[in-house]
Amino acid sequence: MSLSAFLQFVFSGLTSGAVYAFVALAFSVTFSSSGIVNFAQGQFVMLGGMVAASLHAGFDVPVLPAMMIGVAAAGIAGLVMGAGFILPMLRLGEFTLILITLGLSIVFEAVALIVWGTDPLALSSLIDAEPLRLGGASLTIDSVIIIAMIFVTLIGYQLFARFTRWGRAMRATSIDPSVAASLGVNVSLTIVLAFVLSAVFGGLAGVLLTPLISTGAQTGLLMTLKGFTAAVLGGMGSPIGSVAGGFLLGMIEAMTTGFISSTYQNAIALTLLILFLMVRPEGLFTKRSRQA
Amino acid sequence: MLDRWITRRNCVLAIAAVAAAAGFAPAALAADPIVIGAVHDLTGPVATLGQYGKRGIDIAIAEVNAAGGVDGRPIELVSLNSESKPELAASLALRLASRNDVLAIIGGTFGSTQLAVGSIAEKQKVPFVTPTGVIGEEQRTWKYQFHTLADFNDAAKMMLDYAKKKNFKRLGLMRLEREYGELGAKFLRQLAPSYGIEIVAEERGADGDRDFTAQLTKLRDANPDFLVVWFANPGGSLVLRNARQLGIRLPMIGPVSMDSSATVKLAGPAAEGFIVTSQIAGSEVLERQKAFADAYRKAYPDAPESNTFEAIGYDLIKIVVAGLKATPQPYTREKLRNAIAKLNYVGAGTVAHYSDTKNDPSADTIVLTTITNGRFVLAK
Amino acid sequence: MTHDAGPIWLKLAAVAAIAALPLVFGGNALLLHLAIMVGIYYTVCIGLSLIFGIGGQLSLAQAAFYGIGAYTSALLATKLNVPVFLGFVAAALVSGIVAWILAAPILRLRTVYLAMATLAFGEILVTLIRENRQLTGGSTGIVNLPRPAIGSFVFETPSQYYYLVWIVALAAAWIAGNIIRSRFGLGLRALADAEIGAASCGVDVARYKTWMFTLGAIFAGVAGALFVHYLSFISPDSFSVSFSILIVMILAVGGRDSLVGALFGAIAVTVLPILLAGYEKYSELVFGVLFLATVMFLPRGLAGAGEALLARMKGGRRVTHEGRDA
DSSP designation for B34: E
Provide the β-strand partners of residue C283.
none
Q: Are B175 and B184 in contact (CB under 8 A)?
A: yes
pLDDT confidence of residue B349: 93
pLDDT confidence bin for A289, thresholds 50/70/90: very low
Q: Are B105 and B38 in contact (CB under 8 A)?
A: yes
pLDDT confidence of residue B44: 80
Q: Are B204 and B176 in contact (CB under 8 A)?
A: yes
Indicate whether C183 pLDDT > 80: no
% chain A with pLDDT above 70: 97
CA distances to A200, B298, B333, B341, C28 from B125, rounded to whole Å, are 54, 37, 7, 14, 15
CB-CB under 8 Å, B208 with A222: yes
Q: Comparing B86-95, B117-126, C250-259, C265-274, which segment has the lowest mean pLDDT?
A: C250-259
Query: What's the mean pLDDT in C85-98?
Result: 96
Query: What's the mean pLDDT in C177-187?
Result: 76
pLDDT confidence of residue C324: 37
CB-CB under 8 Å, B218 with A122: no
Q: Are B183 and B214 in contact (CB under 8 A)?
A: no
CB-side neighbour CA atoms (13 Å) of A28: 35
Interfacial A residues in 4-23 facing C (CB < 8 Å): none
Please list, in sequence order, all residues whose beta carbon lies within 8 angstroms of the beta carbon of residue A274, skipping any fewer than 6 positions away.
C105, C106, C117, C120, C121, C124
pLDDT confidence of residue C156: 87
Mean pLDDT of chain B: 89
Interfacial B residues in 35-74 facing C (CB < 8 Å): 39, 42-43, 47, 51
pLDDT confidence of residue A44: 97
The rounded distance, in Å, linking the Cα atoms of A245 and A267 is: 16
Chain A residues with CB-CB distance to C257 below 8 A = none
Provide the β-strand partners of residue B371.
B376
Instruction: Please report, as a single letter, which amino acid is at residue A41.
Output: Q
The rounded distance, in Å, linking the Cα atoms of B306 and B52 is: 9
- The residue in chain A having the minimum alpha-carbon distance to the alpha carbon of residue C106 is A278
Chosen for mutation from B15, B85, B94, B189 (greatest number of chain C CBs closer than 10 Å) is: B94
DSSP designation for B24: P
Tens of pLDDT, residues A45-62: 999 999 999 999 989 999
Chain A residues with CB-CB distance to B43 below 8 A = 110, 113, 118
Residue whose C-alpha is closest to residue C281's, from B52, A31, A94:
B52
Q: Comparing A10-14, A127-131, B42-46, B81-85, which segment has the lowest mean pLDDT?
A: B42-46
Indicate whether B20 pLDDT > 50: no
Residue whose C-alpha is closest to residue B182's, from B130, B110, B237, B230:
B230
The rounded distance, in Å, linking the Cα atoms of A281 and A270 is: 14
Angle between helices C241-254 and C283-297 (to 10 degrees): 50
pLDDT confidence bin for A287, thresholds 50/70/90: low
pLDDT confidence of residue C46: 94
Please list, in sequence order, all residues whose beta carbon lies within 8 angstroms of the beta carbon of residue C158, skipping any fewer than 6 positions away.
C22, C29, C32, C33, C36
pLDDT confidence bin for C191, thresholds 50/70/90: low
Please list, in sequence order, all residues whose beta carbon lies within 8 angstroms of the beta carbon of residue B4, skipping any fewer than 6 positions away.
none
Query: What's the mean pLDDT in C275-283?
Result: 89
pLDDT confidence of residue A175: 79
Mean pLDDT of chain C: 85
Strand order across the B145-147 sheet: B75-81, B34-40, B102-107, B128-130, B145-147
Interfacial B residues in 288-347 facing C (CB < 8 Å): none
Q: Which residue has the higher pLDDT, C240 or B290?
A: B290
Q: Does residue C93 sit in helix, strand or coil?
A: helix
What number of other Cβ atoms are within 10 A of residue B29's Cβ? Answer: 7
Indicate whether B7 pLDDT > 70: no
pLDDT confidence of residue C168: 96
Chain A residues with CB-CB distance to C123 below 8 A = 266-267, 270
The rounded distance, in Å, linking the Cα atoms of B264 and B272 is: 8
pLDDT confidence of residue B230: 97
Q: Is B141's Cβ below 8 Å from some Cβ in C?
A: no
The rounded distance, in Å, linking the Cα atoms of A86 and A192 is: 8
Task: Calculate the dihedral angle through the C-alpha atoms of A73, A75, A77, A78, rounding to the nearest 10 degrees.
Answer: 170
Indicate whether B373 pLDDT > 90: yes
Q: Are C177 and C3 in contact (CB under 8 A)?
A: yes
Provide the β-strand partners of residue A123.
none
CB-CB under 8 Å, C284 with A110: yes
Chain C residues with CB-CB distance to B92 below 8 A = 274, 277
Tens of pLDDT, residues B296-327: 999 999 889 999 999 999 999 999 999 999 99
Chain A residues with CB-CB distance to C253 below 8 A = none
The rounded distance, in Å, linking the Cα atoms of B121 and A261 is: 38
pLDDT confidence of residue C122: 93
User: What is chain C's alpha carbon radius of gyration, rounded to the nearest angstrom?
Assistant: 20
pLDDT confidence bin for B28, thresholds 50/70/90: very low
Q: Are C228 and C118 in contact (CB under 8 A)?
A: no
Q: Which residue has the higher pLDDT, B325 or C12?
A: B325
Please list, in sequence order, all residues whose beta carbon lies within 8 angstroms of the beta carbon of residue B162, skipping any fewer than 6 positions away.
B253, B275, B368, B379
Please list, in sequence order, all residues whose beta carbon lies within 8 angstroms of the beta carbon of residue A112, skipping any fewer than 6 positions away.
A43, A46, A47, A50, A217, A220
Query: What's the mean pLDDT in A156-180?
Result: 87
CA distances to B128, B350, B355, C158 from B147, rounded to whole Å, are 9, 9, 12, 28
Q: Could you tell me the pTM of the whole model?
A: 0.89
Indicate whether A37 pLDDT > 60: yes
Q: Does residue C320 sit in helix, strand or coil?
A: coil
Tens of pLDDT, residues B222-244: 999 999 999 998 899 999 999 99
Q: Is A92's Cβ below 8 Å from some Cβ in C?
A: yes
Highest mean pLDDT among A209-223, B2-16, B269-283: B269-283
pLDDT confidence of residue C184: 67
CA distances to A85, A178, B21, B180, B305 from C295, rounded to whole Å, are 11, 26, 17, 38, 45
Indicate whether C152 pLDDT > 80: yes
CB-CB under 8 Å, A107 with C120: no
Indicate whether C235 pLDDT > 70: yes
The rounded distance, in Å, linking the Cα atoms of C98 and C94 is: 6
Query: What's the mean pLDDT in A263-292?
Result: 76
Tens of pLDDT, residues B123-168: 999 999 999 999 888 889 999 999 999 999 999 999 999 999 999 9
pLDDT confidence of residue B50: 87
Chain C residues with CB-CB distance to A228 below 8 A = 116
The rounded distance, in Å, linking the Cα atoms of A55 and B265 is: 15
Q: Which of C138, C277, C312 sits opposite B182 (nearest CB)?
A: C138
CA distances to A128, A257, B209, B240 from A16, rounded to whole Å, are 20, 13, 10, 18
pLDDT confidence of residue C198: 60
pLDDT confidence of residue B54: 94
Q: Are B188 and B156 in contact (CB under 8 A)?
A: yes
Mean pLDDT of chain A: 90
- The residue in chain B having the minimum alpha-carbon distance to the alpha carbon of residue C236 is B178
Indicate whether C232 pLDDT > 60: yes
Indicate whether A186 pLDDT > 60: yes
pLDDT confidence of residue C172: 95
DSSP designation for C54: I
Tens of pLDDT, residues A139-153: 999 999 999 999 999
Query: What's the mean pLDDT in B249-273?
Result: 94
Residue whose C-alpha is closest to residue B147's, from B137, B158, B162, B133:
B133
Task: Calculate the dihedral angle through the C-alpha atoms of B351, B356, B359, B363, rounding to the nearest 10 degrees.
Answer: -50
Query: What's the mean pLDDT in C190-219?
Result: 75
pLDDT confidence bin for A160, thresholds 50/70/90: very high
Question: Per residue, what are the HEC states of chain A?
Answer: CCHHHHHHHHHHHHHHHHHHHHHHHHHHHHHHHHCCCCCCHHHHHHHHHHHHHHHHHHHCCCHHHHHHHHHHHHHHHHHHHHHHHHHHHHHHCHHHHHHHHHHHHHHHHHHHHHHHCCCCECCCCCCCCCCEEECCEEECHHHHHHHHHHHHHHHHHHHHHHHCHHHHHHHHHHHCHHHHHHCCCCHHHHHHHHHHHHHHHHHHHHHHHHHHHCECCCHHHHHHHHHHHHHHHHCCCCHHHHHHHHHHHHHHHHHHHHHCCHHHHHHHHHHHHHHHHHHCCCCCCCCCCCCC
The rounded distance, in Å, linking the Cα atoms of A215 and A123 is: 9
- The residue in chain C having the minimum alpha-carbon distance to the alpha carbon of residue B18 is C290
pLDDT confidence of residue A227: 94
pLDDT confidence of residue C326: 31
Burial B288-309 (b: 16+ CB within 10 A, else e): ebeebbebbeeeeeeeebbbbb
Query: What's the mean pLDDT in C165-187?
Result: 86
The rounded distance, in Å, linking the Cα atoms of C249 and C247 is: 5
The rounded distance, in Å, linking the Cα atoms of A155 and C261 is: 48
Q: Is A286's Cβ below 8 Å from some Cβ in C?
A: no
